[in-house]
Amino acid sequence: MKRKRICLVTISPETEYSRRVIAGVCAQCKKYGYDVVVISALVSICNYYKNYLNGELNIYNLINFDLFDGFIITPVPMTEDNNNFLYEKLLEQFKNCPKPVVTLDKVFAEYPVIYTDDKTPFKRITEHLIKKHNCRTFDILSGPDASELTSMRINGIIEALSDNSIPIDNDHIFKGDYWYFSGERLANRYISGELELPDAVICLSDHMALGLINRLKKNNINVPEDLIVTGFGAVREAAINTPPLTSYVPSQAKTGAEAVNYLRTIIDPAASIMDYEENLNDTLKLGRSCGCEEDFSYTRAYLKEQFGTKYNYDDSSIWDNINMTMLQESYMAETLTGAETPEVCLGKIYESKYLLKPYKRFYICLNENWLNTDVTITQGYTDSILLAISAEANSKLHGKYNHVFIGEGRERLFNKAEMLPAFTEDLKEAFKEPQIFYFAPLHFGDVSLGYAVLQNDLSNPGFIGEVFRNYLRNINNALEMSRTKYRSIYLSEHDSMTGLKNRRGLEFFIQQKIQNAASDAKIFAIVIDMDGLKKRNDTYGHAEGDKGIMVVAKAVQSITEAGEACARDGGDEFVILGVGGYTDSQMREKLSRFHGYLETANETMSIPVEASIGYSLQPVDKKEGFQLVLDKADAKMYEDKNSKKSAASEKVKK
């Protein structure tokens, strides 16, 4: 049997909530031998750059229900600051999901909800303030509604107050929004004198607590000297704030694990359930906002991830865990931006994969038409996806020809419904232990370019955080730069009317082919000239003449194979050039197919189209180039044209 596959749908995976849930899901799926797929936009739902946010949110359009055994959804980070548009989009998307779905900490349609135990943490926080700091008067900054999580948190506080015979006045429970703004609003009421300062304010989220502390500090009300403040969530901003915020680590990892347990009862009903083991001794995080000595292991935990740290780059061990400083100093952005062609750009991206360590496989999947700047996709992806990069960390085969698939007929396309070619493998056979796949969007503004996938063993799942997000930002910018450069080059090397190469594009193409040719290779030229274009224009108008040119252009394209180039070389003349192991019989067969195409096309044309054609096939001479073979083909074409004129003249005489 193939391994079961669980899909976690979340957002902003570098935030603590999503990070903890991912950790719990991974730990439990590893026990059960399930693969994990994380589908996630990399930025917060509150991101102020709306075009960029829309480009990020496009990743959720990729989800194919048929590829998964069950889904876990995290609505809480998807609805920060009352932003509900993603939440509502997913409600519609999952309305008819045929697979079991479980949601965490917030109602999502009619699906079952697993709630984090937030009552115990708030009871412990309140008891700490009472017993350690002798607090007796409290204000509570609550949530925006009477949701299950809000109620649990309030009940934990009330129970601790009741156990210690401290009355609670409902007038001192203030409605908040779980975001900075409500903390700032409460601070303004203290600053104005509308409210008296209590001994402590217990905030139901870190962000509200930080809004409160920092607004008070600007107005000379100091924490903890004048007022104790606590938060909840132990987010990065809380740890590195001044003063550091006393907070609590929620058991969201356990919630993620319990969601896996719930799905297991449905997808593996006969299998046993294993408990998730949680370390409860490392949950209350002491900053200084409550008056305690700060726990430096908490407040300094995030400092290594910040900018400015210097490293000994001769120490090979540091390259196993890349951080933001190392990403910045890699000059990845400059290297990619300077790439002259899309092929070179993707090759440079492949070379930069070391910045993703630890990883097992890394994939870049692009819309089939990603280079076409005339086509703008803002919702979803093309039906056919280009597997542009498929890099394996331990591969002995290096270089773009083994891992980068673009140009010169090396394209690898797959159906979007597969999401990833690896999903068609028996992963249980390919990888002995369960795998995790992180799917993230590639885009420029709101324009969809494709998506990236990072794969790891569940025993070493890695983490998609700030480094990964900024790594992909570099890729987004580089791909857009490649598209722009490609468009400029394309316009300079192609005929605007037919889309075929022009003379400049043809020369650039064939010179590369000649230089890379084998010693025994041959070069061929086919020259085609449309008959009677001037007469057609003079008699029927230029629109009819253009129609005839397009018919000939399509006929030329129809006999041009991969690795060959066709061009419009003037008003009514066309050229095909190729280098390889060609024979005269292949050339004659091409000419036959050309005539066959015109005959078929003329069946539907009110005014038939005719053309003269000739070819030449010569050994490649790298010094000679292509002009000699082109001249000989041109002469053959005129022989064909003259023979037709002679035949027409004889027919008139008769």
Residue 431, pLDDT score: 83
pLDDT at residue 81, rounded to an integer:
81
d(CA 296, CA 593): 78
Q: What value, to the nearest 5°, has the Cα angle with vertex 480 and ends 504 and 471?
A: 135
602 to each of 178, 327, 592, 597, 633, how far by Cα in Å?
Answer: 71, 60, 15, 9, 25
Q: C-alpha distances in angstroms, 219 versus 187, 191, 212, 214, 359?
A: 9, 7, 11, 9, 48
Residues 6+ apart with CB under 8 A from 588: none
Q: Which residues fall within 8 angstroms of residue 378, CB to CB, at 6 or more apart?
A: 54, 55, 58, 446, 447, 448
Q: Can you say how many angstroms the Cα of residue 227 is from the centroid of all Cα atoms in its chain?
A: 45
**CB-CB neighbours of 165 under 10 Å:** 6
Long-range CB contacts for residues 417-424, cutoff 8 Å, separation at least 24:
417/64, 417/66, 418/64, 418/67, 419/62, 419/64, 419/67, 420/363, 420/365, 420/453, 421/387, 421/390, 422/361, 422/363, 422/455, 423/67
End-to-end CA distance of the chain: give it in Å, rounded. 81
**Percent of the chain residues topping a pLDDT of 90:** 65
| Strands 35-41 vs 435-444: parallel, antiparallel or unpaired | parallel
pLDDT 10s digits, 89-141: 999 999 999 999 999 999 999 999 999 999 999 999 999 999 999 999 999 99
Q: Which residues contact 261 (CB under 8 A, 6 or more apart)?
A: 28, 273, 274, 276
Among 305, 385, 390, residue whose Cα is nearest residue 349: 390
d(CA 144, CA 182): 10
Q: Are 646 and 539 in contact (CB under 8 A)?
A: no
Q: How many residues comprise the chain? A: 654
**Whether 8 contacts 38, CB under 8 Å:** yes
- Say if residue 315 is exposed, middle or buried (CB neighbours under 10 Å; 0-12, 13-18, 19+): exposed
Task: Find the Cα–Cα–Cα–Cα dihedral 296, 298, 301, 302, rounded to 10°.
Answer: -110
pLDDT at res. 584? 94
Euclidean distance between CA atoms 336 and 327, whole angstroms: 13
Cα 469 to Cα 12, 42, 87, 323, 457, distances in angstroms: 9, 6, 22, 12, 20
pLDDT number for residue 298:
82
Q: Rounded to whole angstroms, how far apart are CA atoms 210 and 216?
A: 10
Q: Tell me, what's the pLDDT at 318?
A: 56
- Angle at which helix 503-515 crosses helix 466-493, to 10 degrees, equals 110
What is the set of domains in the chain, with CATH numbers? 5-116+253-267 (3.40.50.2300), 119-250+279-301 (3.40.50.2300), 316-490 (3.30.450), 503-653 (3.30.70.270)
Q: Is the peptide bond before 434 cis (omega within 30 degrees of 0)?
A: no
Contact 475, 23 (CB under 8 A): no
- Quote the CA–CA distance of 217 and 342 in Å, as a whole number: 52
Q: What is the pLDDT of residue 308?
A: 46
pLDDT at 303: 64
Separation CA 197–CA 189 (nearest Å): 10
Can you list the residues of the chain whose pLDDT is less than 50?
307-308
Residue 1: per-residue pLDDT:
66
Q: DSSP string spanning 307-336?
A: TT----TT-GGGGGS--HHHHHHTTHHHHH
CA-nearest of 491, 501, 478 to 567 is 501
DSSP count for the chain of H helices, then E strands: 22, 20
